[in-house]
Amino acid sequence: MIKALTFDLDDTLWDIWPVVERAEALLHDWLASRYPRIPQQFTALELRDLSAEVIAARPDLAHDRTWSRKAALQLAAQRAGYAEFDVEGAFEVFYRARNTIEPFAEVRPALERLARRYVLASLSNGNADLRLIGLDDLFSMSLNAIDVGTAKPEPLMFEAASRLLQLRPDQIVHVGDHPEHDVWGGQQAGFHTVWVNRTGRDWPGGPRAEAEISDLTELEAVLAAWEASLSSQA
Ligand SMILES: [Mg+2]
């Protein structure tokens, strides 16, 4: 029987790109008031490109988006000629805005109902903080790539979840939007998988998830059908 559900966060429970763009814009304003040569020299998009540059130099830290944001800011300050730079203060501006998130409308009610029947956990490659977002009461465990040391689709995060939940992979359903990180990664780890396809994308190829849903309300129906077929086989 299914005992636990693990959820991807960004683009599964909320739209992340509008949030990131807003956070980058707020950070840009903060920099303009304190370190004006940085925004004079770099647009918000160019600052984002610096993250790619620092990751290229340290691919072993690519999974840690907090590190790459801070390293990119530090590099920007250096190139703009600031010997002293408050990287923690700058990151805090970004991070607070990055966690000012409105989940999709059905998310909290659906998770509340699911949490009565299943253990819920989150498995994210990003650095969202469920406490700041206000969903932490629904999840018994949250893992991200920074905690684990590698990102999905690598098996480590799935293996850690299975171990910490004290469940076999086939007792867990992973639910996420990313065909490779969530569906393929979950399958490789032996989890059941559900693809969250909110925007009607075509499946890009490879083995499909066991179910495809357009929102979490549909997940309840999928799980009910699986439970019914499992109990009729028993
Ligand atoms: Mg995602």
pLDDT tens column, 202-234: 999 999 999 999 999 999 999 999 989 878 876
**pLDDT (average), residues 12-33:** 97
Strand-pair category, 119-124 with 172-176 = unpaired
What the block records as the tokens of 62 is: 């690519």
User: Would you state the structure tokens that stand for residue 50, as one six-digit string?
Assistant: 């610096």
What pLDDT score was predicted for residue 234? 67
In this predicted structure, the answer to whether residue 78 has a pLDDT above a threshold of 70 is: yes
Categorize the per-residue pLDDT at 175 as very low, low, confident or very high, splitting at 50, 70 and 90: very high
Residue 209 Cα to ligand 1 middle (Å): 15
Average pLDDT over residues 66-74: 97
Sign of CA dihedral 22, 24, 29, 30: positive
Give the per-residue pLDDT at 157. Answer: 97
pTM of the model: 0.94
Q: Is the pLDDT of residue 93 over 70?
A: yes
Q: How far is the CA of 14 from the centre of ligand 1 (A)?
A: 9
How far, in Å, is the centroid of ligand 1 from the Cα of 170? Answer: 22
Q: 65: CA distance to ligand 1 center in Å?
A: 14
- Average per-residue pLDDT for the chain: 96
Ligand 1 center from residue 196 Cα (angstroms): 9
pLDDT surpassing 80 at residue 38: yes
Section 190-206 average pLDDT: 97
Contact criterion met (CB below 8 Å) for 209 and 193: yes
- Domains in the chain, ordered, with CATH? 4-14+105-233 (3.40.50.1000), 17-98 (1.20.120.1600)
Which tens digit of pLDDT belongs to each residue from 121-147? Answer: 999 999 999 999 999 999 999 999 999
How remote is the CA of residue 81 from the centroid of ligand 1, in Å? 36
Q: Among 28-42, 94-108, 135-149, 219-233, which stretch is predicted with the lowest mean pLDDT?
A: 219-233
Assess whether pLDDT exceeds 80 at residue 47: yes
Q: Say how many Å lie between the CA of residue 40 and the centre of ligand 1.
A: 32
Closest CA to 210 of 193, 187, 185: 193
Higher pLDDT, residue 149 or 230: 149
Give the confidence band of 164 by pLDDT, cuts at 50, 70, 90: very high
Distance CA 78, CA 17 (A): 27
pLDDT in the model for residue 208: 97
